[in-house]
């Protein structure tokens, strides 16, 4: 079960979690402060810890968190939990971040997302924002018995495999696959041009191949469109029209709709399945899939970053932005000594 591979926790993470309201359907930590990365983010000890808290009732959760952690919020705190929740749900990618918070002796950033919004993103890739985070290894600290959420988490991983297989050649390595998967949520993200270190995806994958294998190994074994040679770390992918059509039909609804929009010529008004069948007959259909993913990620990343100025406040936004640019500069120096 994919979720078993995801689940891992530590005393330090649980201690940090204890500073927040406990009504959580899911809490996880991710990023360079949790998993070792290559490149300029290799210093785990001093890296900021990133968390996401998923809550069933964000108004109640923010109300309690304002009592506990008033200083974490920007000026929006004076408007109250209902306005904060409205900003969270209705702008950007449905997540409200409080960055640059000192908690239990560590610098952290935490995002809050509604359970229903997360499930929608996991199933349909409406934003591919937190769903994208969950396509990479994370450390799950808390999870309730929400069957719909658990099913959606698993579906998100299977969708990631389907999309990545469509963008890979017939014979590929598992590292190639994991690199494609890790890059899905960065495809079209403007921060990969301004702010994020250019080699970010490879830096995530290379030290964590074993973690990716835990997440995706059983899905690859079960997928009829791929022969997974685990011992050799190789994949043989069915690139026949029938095989590619099966993968295209397994993609999330929002991505299928974007591919349909790309492929639908003016005046034809063909349905989604008809256009996906046409794409399936192209042995090199990966660029169309990539364009569709970019069409989801680009506007989502821009909206979420713009929203961050309000949720973090101007001062924190400037500091956080400078930290990101510093990472990018270090990465450039590494590649251009």
- The tens digit of pLDDT for each residue in 99-116 reads 889 999 899 999 999 999
Q: Are 226 and 192 in contact (CB under 8 A)?
A: no
- The whole-angstrom separation of Cα 277 and Cα 282 is 9
- The whole-angstrom separation of Cα 25 and Cα 269 is 41
Burial status of residue 18 (CB atoms within 10 A of its CB: 0-12, 13-18, 19 or more): exposed
- What's the chain's average pLDDT? 85
Quote the pLDDT of residue 48: 84
Supply the DSSP symbol for 126. Answer: S
What domains lie within the chain, and their CATH numbers?
A: 2-145 (3.30.460), 155-297 (no CATH)
Quote the pLDDT of residue 4: 43
Q: Are 7 and 154 in contact (CB under 8 A)?
A: no
Secondary structure of 24-87 in the HEC alphabet? CCEEEEECCCCCCCCHHHCCCCCCCEEEEEEECCHHHHHHHHHHHCHHHCCHHHHHCHHHHHHH
22, two tokens:
């406990």
- The whole-angstrom separation of Cα 69 and Cα 268 is 55
Supply the DSSP symbol for 7. Answer: B
Quote the pLDDT of residue 188: 64
Residues with Cβ < 8 Å from 181, sequence gap 6 or more? 135, 136, 160, 161, 163, 164, 212, 216
62, two tokens:
């923010």
pTM of the predicted structure, to 2 decimals: 0.86
Can you say whether the dihedral through the CA atoms of 138, 139, 142, 148 is positive or negative?
positive
pLDDT of residue 335 exceeding 50, the answer is: no
User: What distances in angstroms separate CA 229 from CA 71, 244, 245, one per listed residue?
Assistant: 52, 20, 23
326, two tokens:
């510093």
How large a percentage of the chain has pLDDT more than 70? 80
- Residue 309 banded pLDDT, cuts 50, 70, 90: low
Quote the pLDDT of residue 44: 58
């Amino acid at each position: 079960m994919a979720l078993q591979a995801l689940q891992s926790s530590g005393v330090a993470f649980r201690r940090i979690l204890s500073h927040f309201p406990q009504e959580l359907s899911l809490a996880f930590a991710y990023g360079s402060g949790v998993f070792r990365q290559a490149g300029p983010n290799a210093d785990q000890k001093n890296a900021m810890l990133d968390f996401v808290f998923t809550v069933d009732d964000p108004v109640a959760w923010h109300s309690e968190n304002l009592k506990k952690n008033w200083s974490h919020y920007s000026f929006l705190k004076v408007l109250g939990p209902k306005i904060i929740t409205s900003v969270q749900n209705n702008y950007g990618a449905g997540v409200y971040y409080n960055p640059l918070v000192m908690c239990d002796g560590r610098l952290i950033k935490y995002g809050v997302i509604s359970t229903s919004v997360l499930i929608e993103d996991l199933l349909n890739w409406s934003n591919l924002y937190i769903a994208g985070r969950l396509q990479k290894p994370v450390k799950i600290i808390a999870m309730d018995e929400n069957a719909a959420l658990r099913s959606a988490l698993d579906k998100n991983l299977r969708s990631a495999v389907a999309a990545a297989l469509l963008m890979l050649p017939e014979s590929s390595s598992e590292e190639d696959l994991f690199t494609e998967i890790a890059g899905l949520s960065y495809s079209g993200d403007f921060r990969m041009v301004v702010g994020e270190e250019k080699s970010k995806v490879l830096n995530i994958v290379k030290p964590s191949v074993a973690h990716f294998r835990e997440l995706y190994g059983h899905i690859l074994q079960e997928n009829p469109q791929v022969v997974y040679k685990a011992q050799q770390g190789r994949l043989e992918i069915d690139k026949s029209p029938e095989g590619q059509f099966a993968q295209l039909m397994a993609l999330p609804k929002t991505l299928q709709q974007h591919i349909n929009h790309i492929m639908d010529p003016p005046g034809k008004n063909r349905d989604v399945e008809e256009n996906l069948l046409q794409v399936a007959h192209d042995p090199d259909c990966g660029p169309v899939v990539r364009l569709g993913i970019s069409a989801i990620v680009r506007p989502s990343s821009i909206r979420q970053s713009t929203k961050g100025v309000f949720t973090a406040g101007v001062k924190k936004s400037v500091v956080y932005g400078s930290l990101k640019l510093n990472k990018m500069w270090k990465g450039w120096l590494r590649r251009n000594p």
